[in-house]
Amino acid sequence: MTKKINTKLTKLLKYYNLINYNLIYDNQSINRYKKNKANISGNKELLLKNLENSIENIKNCELKKNATDIVFADGHPDSKIMIVAEGPGASEDEEGLPFLGRAGKLLDKMLHSINLSRDSVYITNVVNYRPPENRRPTENEIKRYLPFLINHIEIINPKILILLGTTALNAIIGNEEVISKVRGKWINKKIGNCFTSIIVSFHPAFLMRQPEQKKLAWVDLKMIKKKISELKIKIEK
């Protein structure tokens, strides 16, 4: 177990160095999990650990069988801003963290543009294991992981829930919805025991394929920044 953790940490340090962040010398950022776990309530930490264990113990799951590792979450568990995306890719599967690689770098830039960071939000996916060949999760796979996702949202209890991409939109809002129809507006919705304000936007991977849509994504980001101010949300550091 210690060897596996050390290997992951070494790879993660190389990743941060590669994308030219100064985190390689910043103990606060490198130890984000350790720092954030020390600051959250014992009850929330226990609930998150139990949820992660439940996902790891799922039976007869093709996603789990073909994946390297679970990709549970990243960020600050006490943040009132939660991001839900589709599922892990190859880099995420290898490192055990969401949003690495090129899409992750773009997400970091998007967050930075409205004075946020991975330390000040909480990030997870609809499914916690990488779909083979980076395909979209099937409807049955989404349904199977949806109870875990709802529980995850209940535990974090965000005031703002950001859904990135069609898979996250369909899982939380409904299969009949498309991003072009629902983005750019707020949806107030109760998810499990959590009542939250939802905004839908484009997945960073989509924005890399369709860069002309970045102007609409910027509109969404400005709406998020305004909502943070309106709700007087304290940004976790």
Specify the amino acid at residue 49. K
Specify the amino acid at residue 169. L
Q: What pLDDT shows up at residue 36?
A: 53
Q: What's the rounded Cα separation, in Å, for the pair 96 and 200?
A: 25
Nearest to 185 by CA among 141, 132, 235, 226: 226
pLDDT in tens, the chain (237 residues): 544 445 554 544 444 443 343 332 333 333 344 345 545 667 999 999 999 999 999 999 999 999 999 999 999 999 999 999 999 999 999 999 999 989 999 999 999 999 999 999 999 999 999 999 889 999 999 999 999 999 999 999 999 999 999 999 999 999 888 999 999 999 999 999 999 999 999 999 999 999 999 999 999 999 999 999 999 999 976
Q: What pLDDT shows up at residue 34?
A: 39
Q: What pLDDT shows up at residue 113?
A: 97
- The number of residues making up the chain comes to 237
Q: What's the rounded Cα separation, in Å, for the pair 122 and 85?
A: 11
Q: What pLDDT shows up at residue 15?
A: 41
pTM of the full predicted structure? 0.83
